[in-house]
Structure 1
Amino acid sequence: MNKQTHSESQDSATLAYGEHVKTLLTMNDPKEWVEDLWIIYTGFMVAQHELGHNPHASDLFCTFRELVFFFQKLEERKAA
């Protein structure tokens, strides 16, 4: 992502990030995002044996989990 410039207001930065998220969300529906994330994470975990120890594995899991929760919340909103 681009860093905020001094002349860019917080609101315009938030709107710009929102536009990026909106673009991402038009690529797939939330359920497909969750399925894709599981495929990516599973492949990563399977490859760990070959890749060796990763001291950031727990951080990666937390990021993965938060992304899954984000898309699950979107899916729940869509269903409501």
Structure 2
Amino acid sequence: MKTQTHLPESVDSVCMAYGHEVKELLSMCSAETWIEDLWAIFTGYMLAQGEMGFNPRLADIFTSFRDLVMFFEKVKAMRAAA
């Protein structure tokens, strides 16, 4: 029989941990800079597609990119409203 050595984390503590990580990420540079860098990364990726060949996950990668840009756009708007 196995016994648990620790209690599972509460949803609140997980959210707090995520919030801490996001705070650290946003302390590195502004949301505007993150957006510019994401566009540069994705543009380079798209330009390299000709050399790399077909990627069946391209639509999924674009969706992830779009979601990240939208996240930083929301952060930018939140900071502007504060």
TM-score, with normalisation over the residues of structure 2? 0.86
Partner of 2:59: 58
Distance 2:8 2:58 in 1: 37
Structure 2 counterpart of 1:48, one-letter code: Q
Distance 1:78 1:28 in 2: 13
Partner of 1:72: 73
Partner of 2:3: none
Instruction: Report the 3-state secondary structure (helix = DSSP H, G, I; strand = E; otherwise coil) of the residue aligned with 1:16.
Output: helix
State the 4+ residue runs in structure 1 displaced beyond 6 angstroms.
none
Aligned-residue sequence identity (percent) comes to 50
Distance 1:61 1:23 in 2: 25
Q: Computing the radius of gyration over CA atoms, which structure comes out larger, 1 or 2?
A: 2
Distance 1:9 1:54 in 2: 39
RMSD: 1.3
Matches within 5 A, 1:1-80: 7-80=8-81
TM-score, with normalisation over the residues of structure 1? 0.88
Note the residue ranges of structure 2 that are not aligned, 5 or more in a row: 1-5
Structure 1 counterpart of 2:23, one-letter code: K
